[in-house]
Structure 1
Amino acid sequence: MVLGLMLTGTLYAAFAPSSSAGSASSDEELVETGRNLFLVGCSTCHGQNGEGITTLEGDQLGPALAGVGAAAVDFQVGTGRMPAAQPGAQNPTKPVTYSDEEIKALAAFVASLGPGPSVPDPSDYSLAGLSEEEREEAVSRGGQIFLTNCTACHNFAGKGGAMPRGGNAPNLSDTSAKHIYEALLTGPGQMDTFSNGNLSPEEKRDVIAYLYSLREQPQYGGFDLGGMGPVSEGMFAWIVGIGSLVCFATWIAAHTARTSRRKDEAAA
C-alpha cells in the first residue's frame, strides 16, 4: 500500500505540473494572438489596451472593454456587428469578418482585461435531453418572461421595432440560440442586461425555447404582415381593406349614375 501511494504521488508530481504549464502556455498564446488581431482591427476605436477612445468633441468612438467579458466579444464579432464600418447609433449585423478561432482569440484577449461574462456552454441554452412535456413547460415559462420584459421593444413575436435615438430592436427570427443567450447576458446597445442574478440560466433557456417555438407556428389567415401585431394588422384592414371597398362602392355608384343619365338622354 505504501509503495502504491508513493508511486501514485511520484506520477502525479511528474505529470500534473507539466499539464498545467501546457494549459497556461496555451492560454497565453491565445491571448497574444487575440491581442495582435485586436491591435489591427479594433484598437482604432477601442484603444490599444481596450481603454476606449473619445474624440475632442466628446463623442465616443468605442467604449472601454475591461469587464465586458468574452461573451460580449463573441456576440458582437460573431454577428458581424464588429468591427464596425463606421461609428453610429447602432451597429447593424453584417457578414462575419473573423473565423471562429480568431473570434475565440479576440474573446480571450478582452476577457484578460477584466472579469466579465464568459461564452455560454451549449448546455446552457439547449433543450436537448428534455421530454416533450418539459419542453412545453419551458416554452410556457419563457413566453411569460418574454411578454413581460421584451415585447416593448421586440414585439410579442420577436420581430423587432424602432427605438429612440436612431436605434432599433432587431428581428430575432434568425438569431442563433447562443447569440440570444449572450445578448441577454451582456445587454448590447440599448438593451437591458439580464445577468444570472436577474434571469437564471434556466430562465434564459426558457426564453430561447419560446422564441424558437414561434418559428414553428403556422401563420393562419394568409398574409401575416410580418407578425407585427393587431395594431398594424387592424390599420391595414381599415386603410387597405375598407378603403378599397369604399373606392369600389364609389366607382359603382358613379358608373350607375352615368348609365342612368345616358338612358334618360336617349329617351328624350
Structure 2
Amino acid sequence: MKALAARRHHPMALLVILLLALVATGGLYVAFQPQTAQAEAFTQDDVDSGEALFLANCATCHGRSGEGLQDSEGSTLGPSLIGVGAAAVDFQVGTGRMPMQSSGAQAWAKPPQMNDEQTRQLAAYVASLGPGPAIPDESQLDTSQGDATKGGEIFRVNCAMCHNAAGAGGALTHGKFAPPVTGVDPKHTYEAMDTGPQNMPVFNETNLSPQDKLDVITYLEAMEENGSPGGISLGSLGPVTEGLYAWTIILSLLLGCAVWLGAKAK
C-alpha cells in the first residue's frame, strides 16, 4: 500500500491518469457513436481508380487530398471532403451537381458526368479519407415498411419551410434555392438528409432515425402518386400563382366582354 501511495505522488502520475482518461473517452466514443462507417465492400482497386478520377476531375477545387482549397482572397473554391462519406459523393455526382458546370451560388442538378461504376469508385476514394455516412442499402429504402402519415408530419416540421409543403421547392437568399423533392430517386433523398448538401442541414441519426427518413421518402412517393387533389397544381407555389391565374383569367374575360359589348353597340 505504501508503494502504491508513493506512485500516486509521482510527478508522472497525473499525466498517466490523463492519458488513460483520454483513451477511455475515445474508446467509449467509438463504441457508442452513430454507425456512419461505410457499409460498402470497397476494394483497394476501387479506391485506386477513384483516386485517379478524383485527381482528374475534383482536385482543382477540393485539393489533391480532399483537404479543400481557397483562392488568393480567402474564398472557398471547394470545401474539404474529409469525413463527408460515400453518401455525399453518390448524391453530388449521381445527380450531376458535381463536377460543377460553372461556379455560382449553387450547384444545379444535371445529367451525371460519370457512370454508376465511376461514381462508386469516386465514393470509395472519398470514403477512404475519413469515416462518414454510407450509401443507404435496399432495406433502408423499402417504402413498403414506411409510414406516409408519420413521414408527412416529419416533412412539414423539418422540410416544408424551404422545400414547400408540396415538395415543389422554393427560393432562398443570394441566388440560392431549395430544389423540388418530388420525382427524386429515393436513394438520393436519403443521402441528402444524411449529408446536408449545400444549404441543407444535416439530419443525422440523432435528429432523424433511419425509420424517420424512410417515412419521409414514403410520404414523398405517396404525394407524387396521388398528385394534386385540387386538380391543376399551378406549380404548387401557393396563393401567389393562384391569384395570378385567377386575375389573368378574370381580366381576360372582362376585357373580352367589354370588346364584345362595344362591337355589338356599333
| TM-score, normalisation: structure 1 | 0.78
**Superposed displacement of residue 89, structure 1:** 0.9
Structure of higher CA gyration radius: 1
Taking a change above 3 Å as real, the CA distance of residues 139 and 220 of structure 1, as seen in their structure-2 partners, is closer
Q: Equivalences for 1:9-158 in 2 at 5 Å?
A: 27-128=43-144, 130=145, 138-158=147-167
Give the letter aligned to residue 242 of structure 1: I
Counterparts of 1:228 and 1:193, CA distance in 2: 25
Give the letter aligned to residue 77 of structure 1: V
- The correspondence for 2:248, drawn from 210, 233, 240, is 240
- SS at 2:43 equivalent: helix
**Superposed displacement of residue 159, structure 1:** 1.1
CA contact (8 A) 2:235 2:241 kept: no
Task: Provide structure 1 residue ranges, at least 5 long, that are not aligned to the other structure.
Answer: 1-24, 260-268
The answer as to 2:201 corresponding to 1:209 is no
Give the letter aligned to residue 118 of structure 2: E
Give the helix-richer structure, 1 or 2: 1
- The correspondence for 1:179, drawn from 172, 188, 192, is 188
RMSD of aligned alpha carbons: 1.9
**Superposed displacement of residue 74, structure 1:** 0.6
Percent identical? 48
Give the letter aligned to residue 200 of structure 1: S
**Superposed displacement of residue 61, structure 1:** 1.4
CA contact (8 A) 2:42 2:124 kept: no
Counterparts of 2:42 and 2:250, CA distance in 1: 68
Q: Equivalences for 1:243-258 in 2 at 5 Å?
A: 243-255=251-263, 258=265
Task: Provide structure 2 residue ranges, at least 5 long, that are not aligned to the other structure.
Answer: 1-40
Give the letter aligned to residue 210 of structure 2: P
Deviations 1:140-171 (A, max 9, x none): 00001111111111111111122211111112
Taking a change above 3 Å as real, the CA distance of residues 126 and 26 of structure 1, as seen in their structure-2 partners, is closer
**Superposed displacement of residue 83, structure 1:** 0.9
Counterparts of 1:31 and 1:50, CA distance in 2: 14
Give the letter aligned to residue 179 of structure 1: H
- The correspondence for 1:189, drawn from 194, 198, 208, is 198
In structure 2, what is the equivalent of residue 9 of structure 1? none
- SS at 1:61 equivalent: strand
The answer as to 2:235 corresponding to 1:226 is yes
Taking a change above 3 Å as real, the CA distance of residues 221 and 248 of structure 1, as seen in their structure-2 partners, is farther
CA contact (8 A) 2:84 2:131 kept: yes
Equivalenced residue count is 226
The answer as to 2:178 corresponding to 1:162 is no
